[in-house]
A = this chain, B = another copy of it.
Amino acid sequence: MKHIKRRERESSEIRRKIIEAARSLFLNQGYAEVSMRKIADQIEYSPTTIYHYFANKEAVVRELLLEGNTLFLQALQQREQEGRAAGLNALDMLKTVSDAYVRFGTANPEYYNILFISNLESVSLVSLFDSGRFKGFELLEAGLKAAMEEGCIIQGDVRLIARSVWSMLHGLTSLLLNFEFPMAKSNDELIAFTIDTFLRGLSR
């Protein structure tokens, strides 16, 4: 193991297969079902092989977490840039980024689960502040600050408000993922309505 350059190991094809298998198990069967042996079976390697690429199960899950973070941030940032390119005002920016948040969650349930729902104590080593969820949070805080400066929302403690917005977005996403039930209206309408309502509440 020692003579292999870190780079090569990390970009190994098997390494990718491993975390893809883990992700798929996570998605289809839940965290409890992600076992080293099941991953190994899925990629048709021996369980031992996994230990060649990851120190232990936690490391696999952590990788998944990091990957999810990256993709999550990318999704938010891309929509932000699109908004900026379209010349949106601060309020509409908030709206579009909020929408991006929920879309990411519903489109990538396995990642959203890993990031925000499963209480991965075993992975809490990844300290909260390293974790990309807080980069996403900073992005949100920045957006709110801008909106305050533009005068389109109320003045107030930015962190408090950001957390409040996040709560609304998280609740929306996680109920969509876990408790769908019959509604006359579509999920899209629910998403739009909830975000709009909350932001209207914030507006001056």
Contacts and interface: CB of A to CB of B under 8 A. Distances in A.
Interface string A101-117: 00000000000000011
A190 B2 contact: no
B2 A128 contact: no
A30 interface: yes
Q: Is the interface of A mostly helix, strand, loop or mixed?
A: helix
A45 to B, nearest CB: 6
Copies in the complex: 4
Interface string A158-188: 0111011011111111110011010111000
B164 A190 contact: yes
A172 B171 contact: yes
A159 B46 CA distance: 50
Contact of A44 (B3, B32, B189, B199): B3
23 contacts: A2-B41, A3-B40, A3-B44, A3-B45, A29-B121, A30-B121, A31-B32, A116-B179, A159-B184, A160-B183, A161-B193, A164-B172, A164-B190, A164-B197, A167-B168, A167-B190, A168-B168, A168-B198, A169-B171, A171-B172, A174-B174, A197-B202, A201-B202
